[in-house]
Amino acid sequence: MNQSPWPPYPKYKDSGVEWLGKVPEHWEVKKIRNISTSLDHKRIPLNAEQRAEKQGNIPYWGANSIVDYINELIFDETLVLLGEDGAPFFEKDKPVAFLSIGPIWPNNHIHVLRINSTADPGFVKYSLNSVDYSNFVDGSTRDKLTQSKMNNIQLSFPPLSEQLAIVSFLDQETSRIDALISEKERLISLLQEYRQTLISHTVIKGLDPNVKMKDSGVEWLGEVPEHWEILRLKRVLESLEYGISESLSTDGEIPILRMSNIYDGKIFWDDLKFVDSVEDSLYLQNGDLLFNRTNSLDLVGKVGLFEENRTFKTVSFASYLVRLRPNNRANSKYLDYLLNIPSFLSEARSNAIPSIGQANLNPTRYSHLLVAVPPLEEQQNINDLLDQETSRIDTLISESRTFIDLLKEYRSSLITAAVTGKIDVRGFTPLGSEKKTTDE
DNA sequence: GCCGACAGCGATTCCTTATG
DNA sequence: CATAAGGAATCGCTGTCGGC
């Protein structure tokens, strides 16, 4: 918070408002009602059908974002928009207030404020994104900032010229931070793409780039190393079993893995449900794979690898999952990598029977799909490489995520510090301007 | 203007039917 | 008759509506 290179103001007074704390001596605390006019009564909600008839390029605003574009406007002036219900009031890094300078059509879920001449709309926007809304938002099922509560929100204001200086400082700094954030996000998506490509490529082409290849005769596979076997999945499976089909409860002896516990090839042990007994043959053992036979089409077919777990000695699985137990021709982890690559999944999904909103992938048909299987030792080598590389990539991804979180934190604390006068940015020089701005 | 209610829909769980 | 398979029922979330 106070690692910023910006100094504090010379003198402070108590604002009397908790989230503002002390403010510079010459700043004034004012309520929203005293610096703005509400234009809420002019808002008109349009449902999807009405909007479909009015498609255009004028932003149609909902609670926290532009929801659609239509060909009519209600306002065409500089306004501050502030979420009314459904806005992320308690997520520090997400904005709830926006500056609007062109034509817009807002619906009834975002307040519309015309700021009067004593305040700068940009400054109000930044301030409103720093407010602690816990004393203003109510509603039991959904957060809601009523108009009267909004009008009582207090913000602190320096003289107009100083507001403008703060806004130009924040505009520049936040856009710098945002650029860094999107750079990091782009890096993450590149890493994810690379991770996926690496896995797909390795389980289809192997590790040796000079190995002799052959045509697999299978469309989604293409060419594979000559010494790999092309065979039906079931040839490398010892068994294929449905899970248990009974009601689950929130407590009991034996956790029952469900489709939501499978993600990204792994088992996640959260939100568990239980039963009290399961016949022995349906216990999971180390190296079993679980496959999701029914779900929406873009999730059906996902596979997760079960690995022994210290917390639970016996674990079983629900009927919409099918246990694939590899035989001695295949390594479980290798199959987990293979069965989750996009090209295999889409091949599997094309075999699913779609019904309304869900797809059923028949396990027998699934197990008849053709795969390419390297010798066991090579499977192990592939696993080793993929384990090592994916964990390296995952570390990079999580470091980037942490960095993004830090940037977001910094961004919001910088805004709060500037609009509450904790830092004095009057000496700030905008990029591309030679002279120092001299306000006040 | 405010707030509770609910439609719509994807995701998840449960149950019935077909089949061998 | 048991189990595999498919589909019905329910859950839970989000955005929207409309009555007070």
Answer yes or no: pTM beyond 0.75: yes
Residue A145's nearest nucleotide, by CA–C1', is: B2
Please provide residue A59's backbone torsions phi and psi, each rounded to the nearest 5 degrees.
-60, 130
Tokens of A439: 């306000």
Looking up tokens 């806005």, which residue turns up? A87
Give one DSSP letter per residue of A337-372, joined into a string. HHHTSHHHHHHHHTTSEEETTEEE--HHHHHTSEEE
How many angstroms separate the CA of A326 from the C1' of C3? 22
Helix (H, G, I), strand (E, B) or coil at A59: strand
How many angstroms separate the CA of A258 from the C1' of B18? 25
Kindly determine whether the C-beta of residue A205 is less than 7 Å away from any atom of nucleic acid strand B.
no
Among left, alpha and beta (phi > 0; psi -120 to 50; other), residue A44 is beta
* CB A422 within 8 Å of CB A20: no
Domain A207-373 bears CATH identifier 1.10.10.10: no
Helix (H, G, I), strand (E, B) or coil at A321: strand
Residue A46's nearest nucleotide, by CA–C1', is: C16
Nucleotides of C under 7 A from a protein CB: 3-9, 14-18
Range(s) within chain A of domains with CATH label 3.90.220.20: 28-157, 207-373
- For A308-328, letters b (16+ CB in 10 Å) and e give eeeeeeebbbbebbbbbbbee
> Which of 3.10.580.10, 2.60.40.10, 2.40.50.100, 3.90.220.20 is the CATH number of A28-157?
3.90.220.20
Among the listed residues A380, A379, A351, the one whose alpha carbon sits nearest the alpha carbon of residue A365: A351
Question: In tens digits, what is the pLDDT along chain A, a chain of 440 residues?
Answer: 445 578 999 999 999 888 888 999 999 999 888 888 888 888 877 766 667 667 778 888 877 777 777 777 888 888 888 888 767 777 777 788 888 888 888 887 788 888 989 999 999 999 988 888 877 776 555 567 878 788 888 899 999 999 999 999 999 999 999 999 999 989 998 998 999 999 999 999 999 999 999 999 988 899 999 999 999 888 888 888 888 877 777 777 788 888 878 888 888 887 777 777 777 778 888 888 888 888 877 778 888 898 887 778 888 888 888 888 888 899 999 999 999 998 888 888 887 776 555 677 888 888 888 899 999 999 999 999 999 999 999 999 999 989 998 998 899 899 999 999 999 998 877 776 544 433 33
Nucleotides of B under 7 A from a protein CB: 1-6, 9-16
Task: Give the separation between CA A211 and CA A217, rounded to whole angstroms.
Answer: 18
One-letter identity of residue A124: V
Radius of gyration in angstroms for the set of CA atoms belonging to chain A, rounded to a whole number: 29
Helix (H, G, I), strand (E, B) or coil at A178: helix
Which stretch of DSSP H or E encloses residue A155?
A: strand A154-157
Q: How long is chain A?
A: 440
